[in-house]
C-alpha cells in the first residue's frame, strides 16, 4: 500500500506537442492518499484512462513524475510497480481453473507453495468462489470473471494500489450492485488504495471517498460526493453529476440580490461584483413545484412540458420565461395545472465564466 503522488504530470500522444490542445492530459499535481478510494469520472476522451495507464505504468508520461510514497516509479514497468488492474472486459486465463488463475501472480513471483495455497483458499472464500475453485475459468459468467480479475490483484496482499478501468461495463444491473458493494466491503477490509475510472456518476459517487472529475484532459474538481453535489466548482461538474444535471440559467448578481430568468431573489450571502458571464446554477432537487396558493413571492411561473414518472420520483421538464428548467418531485406528488417553481435559495450557486463564485455571509 502506498501514497501516490502525481508531480507536474502531463501527457500527449503526439511526439512534439506544441499547444495546450495537443495534450490528452493537461498538467496535474495531486496526492492520492494511502488507503483512499478514488474515482476518476468524466466523459469518454477526457483523459481519465490516459491518467490511469500512467499510474499503472502502461504509459510513460510526456512530462512529470509518478511517486509511490517517496520512490520515483515513472520509468518502472507495471510489474515492478506492484499494482493490480481490473480491465473493462474481464481478463482471465481461459485454460486455467479459477484456483490456478488466482495462484498465477503468486507463482510468477516465486511465493512458496503452501503460502500460495493458503492465500488462494482465503481469496476464494472472500470472493464467494470456493465451490467453483476447480472449474475452468472460461465457463463462468461475466461477473464471476471480473471477480477473478480482482482476486488476482487482492491475492498479492502487498499491492501498492488497485486500479479499475470501467470494470462494470459488461455486468447486468443487478450484478452491478452486488459487485460494487463487495468492492466497497473489500476496500473497507483491506484498505488498499483504489482508483476507479468510469463515466457513470452513480458508480463513481457510490464507490469513492473522493471523486476526480475530468473534462478535456483537465481536472475540473476533486471532492467528496457531497461537495460535487452541493457546490460544483464548474458548470460542467454541475451538469455531469446528478441526473438530471444542474439547471444553469443566465443571470446576474449584485450584493445579496440575484436575478435569474427575470426574477429577483435575495440571498443570505453577499457577492462582490462579478466580471464575465454570470450564470446561476440550481439543482432540480432544490426546485419545488407548487401551486399559486403555496408558491408565495419566490414562485416563478413554470410552463410544464412533460412529467416523467421514473418510479422513485418524477422529473418535471418545463421552462421559466423561455429557459429550460428541470425539477424533481416526489413519487406521489402531483403537478398543479398552474405550476410555480420555487427555488431553495440557500442551495443556489453563482458561476462566473463557468467557475463557481462563493459569497460571503
Q: Does 149 bind other proteins (CB under 8 A)?
A: yes
Residues 69-88 that bind other proteins (CB under 8 A): 77-79, 83-85, 87-88
Window of 8-16, 68-76, 169-177, 249-257 that interacts with other proteins by CB under 8 A: 169-177
Q: Note whether 241 and 214 are within 8 A (CB).
A: no
Nearer to other proteins, 195 or 271 (CB): 195
C-alpha cell, 12? 500527449
Helix (H, G, I), strand (E, B) or coil at 195: strand
CB of 182: closest distance to other proteins in angstroms?
A: 9
Question: Per-residue string for binding with other proteins, 199-238, x by CB under 8 A?
Answer: xxxx--xxx-------xx-------xxxxxxx-----x--
What φ, ψ does residue 29 adopt, rounded to 5°?
A: -120, 120
CA count, 13 A, side-chain hemisphere, 274: 25
CB of 225: closest distance to other proteins in angstroms?
A: 4
Nearer to other proteins, 76 or 274 (CB): 76
Among 68, 240, 340, 351, binds other proteins (CB under 8 A): 240
CB of 266: closest distance to other proteins in angstroms?
A: 26
Please give the helix or strand (H or E) that residue 174 lies within, else none. helix 173-190
Q: Does 304 bind other proteins (CB under 8 A)?
A: yes
With CA atoms as reference, report the closest residue to 56 among 32, 84, 22. 84
How many residues touch other proteins under the rule CB under 8 A: the total is 88
Nearer to other proteins, 49 or 271 (CB): 49
CB of 334: closest distance to other proteins in angstroms?
A: 6
Q: Does 311 bind other proteins (CB under 8 A)?
A: yes
Q: Does 114 bind other proteins (CB under 8 A)?
A: no
Nearer to other proteins, 115 or 172 (CB): 172
CB of 255: closest distance to other proteins in angstroms?
A: 30
CA distance 319 to 322: 5
Angle value at C-alpha 282, between 238 and 360, nearest 5 degrees: 95
Residues 11-50 that bind other proteins (CB under 8 A): 21, 43-45
Nearer to other proteins, 271 or 316 (CB): 316
Helix (H, G, I), strand (E, B) or coil at 194: strand
Q: Does 332 bind other proteins (CB under 8 A)?
A: yes
Q: Does 134 bind other proteins (CB under 8 A)?
A: yes
Among 75, 118, 270, 305, binds other proteins (CB under 8 A): 305
CA distance 3 to 244: 35
For the chain, how far is it from start to end, CA to CA, in angstroms?
A: 42
Nearer to other proteins, 108 or 360 (CB): 108
Question: Which residues fall within 8 angstroms of residue 241, CB to CB, at 6 or more apart?
Answer: 41, 201, 205, 213, 228, 229, 232
Sign of the C-alpha dihedral, residues 209, 210, 211, 217?
Answer: negative
Strand partners, 30: 6
Among 89, 128, 191, 292, binds other proteins (CB under 8 A): 89
300 CB-contact burial (10 Å; exposed 0-12 / middle 13-18 / buried 19+): buried
Q: Does 338 bind other proteins (CB under 8 A)?
A: no
> DSSP code of 113?
H
Amino acid at each position: 500500500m502506498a501514497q501516490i503522488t502525481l508531480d507536474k504530470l502531463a501527457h500527449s500522444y503526439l511526439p512534439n506537442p506544441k499547444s495546450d490542445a495537443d495534450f490528452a492530459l493537461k498538467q496535474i499535481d495531486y496526492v492520492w492518499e494511502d488507503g483512499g478510494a478514488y474515482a476518476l469520472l468524466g466523459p469518454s476522451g477526457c483523459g481519465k484512462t490516459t491518467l490511469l495507464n500512467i499510474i499503472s505504468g502502461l504509459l510513460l508520461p510526456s512530462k512529470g513524475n509518478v511517486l509511490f510514497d517517496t520512490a520515483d516509479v515513472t520509468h518502472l514497468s507495471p510489474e515492478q510497480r506492484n499494482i493490480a488492474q481490473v480491465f473493462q472486459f474481464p481478463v482471465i486465463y481461459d485454460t486455467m481453473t479459477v484456483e490456478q488463475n488466482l495462484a498465477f501472480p503468486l507463482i510468477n513471483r516465486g511465493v512458496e507453495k503452501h503460502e500460495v495455497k493458503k492465500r488462494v483458499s482465503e481469496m476464494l472464500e472472500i470472493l464467494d468462489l470456493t465451490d467453483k475453485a476447480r472449474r475452468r475459468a472460461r465457463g463462468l459468467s461475466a461477473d464471476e470473471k471480473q471477480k477473478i480479475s480482482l482476486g488476482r490483484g487482492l491475492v498479492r496482499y502487498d499491492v501498492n494500489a488497485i486500479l479499475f478501468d470501467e470494470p462494470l461495463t459488461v455486468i447486468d444491473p443487478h450484478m452491478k450492485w452486488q459487485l460494487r458493494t463487495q468492492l466497497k466491503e473489500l476496500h473497507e477490509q483491506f484498505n488498499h488504495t483504489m482508483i476507479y475510472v468510469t463515466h457513470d456518476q452513480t458508480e463513481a459517487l457510490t464507490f469513492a471517498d473522493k471523486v476526480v472529475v475530468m473534462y478535456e484532459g483537465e481536472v475540473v474538481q476533486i471532492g467528496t460526493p457531497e461537495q460535487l453535489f452541493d457546490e460544483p466548482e464548474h458548470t460542467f461538474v454541475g451538469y455531469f453529476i446528478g441526473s438530471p444535471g444542474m439547471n444553469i440559467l443566465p443571470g446576474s448578481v449584485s450584493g445579496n440580490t440575484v436575478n435569474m430568468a427575470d426574477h429577483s431573489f435575495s440571498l443570505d450571502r453577499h457577492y462582490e461584483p462579478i466580471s464575465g458571464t454570470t450564470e446561476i446554477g440550481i439543482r432540480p432537487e432544490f426546485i419545488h413545484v407548487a401551486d399559486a396558493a403555496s408558491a408565495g413571492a419566490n414562485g416563478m411561473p413554470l410552463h410544464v412540458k412533460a412529467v416523467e414518472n421514473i418510479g422513485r420520483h418524477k422529473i418535471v421538464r418545463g421552462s421559466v420565461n423561455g429557459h429550460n428548467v428541470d425539477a424533481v418531485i416526489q413519487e406521489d406528488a402531483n403537478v398543479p395545472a398552474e405550476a410555480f417553481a420555487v427555488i431553495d435559495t440557500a442551495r443556489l450557486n453563482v458561476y462566473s465564466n463557468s467557475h463557481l463564485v462563493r459569497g460571503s455571509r
